[in-house]
Amino acid sequence: MVVKVKLLGQLKTLFGKDFFIFDEEIKMDEIIKRLNSYKKLNLDIERRDFIIIVNGVESSLVDEDKLLKKDDEVILVPIIHGGL
């Protein structure tokens, strides 16, 4: 059972990898918690910091409590902030 989480943009640089693999059923909130605790980086990322795509569908169209299962693919696209 594998859920693949692909990282795009600055997330690849931050984590030093292109993706994470989870070998169990997992909810999106748990994925975010695990990313925050990865290698004690002391991150404070939240769902709102990304466009989240689950199996090709933007996550606002996917139930937040959906349990991700075997062969599901999640893509995290950082929202770039800027301004003066």
Nearest Cα residue to 60 out of 28, 18, 33? 28
Could you tell me which of 65, 70, 57, 78 has the C-alpha nearest to residue 10?
Answer: 78
What is the pLDDT, as a whole number, of residue 19?
Answer: 95
Provide the residue range defining the domain that includes 64: 3-78
Please report the pLDDT score of residue 64 as a whole number.
Answer: 67
- pLDDT for 75 equals 93
Q: Is residue 30 part of a domain?
A: yes
CATH for 15: 3.10.20.30
The answer as to whether 46 is a domain residue is yes
The number of distinct structural domains making up the chain is 1
Residue 10 in domain: yes
Q: Global pTM?
A: 0.82
- Asked if residue 78 lies in contact with residue 49, where contact means CB atoms within 8 angstroms, the answer is yes
Whether residue 84 is contained in a domain is answered as no
In the chain, which stretches have pLDDT less than 70? 1, 40-42, 61-64, 81-84
Please, are residues 60 and 82 in contact by the beta-carbon 8 Å criterion? Answer: no
Residue 14 lies in a domain: yes
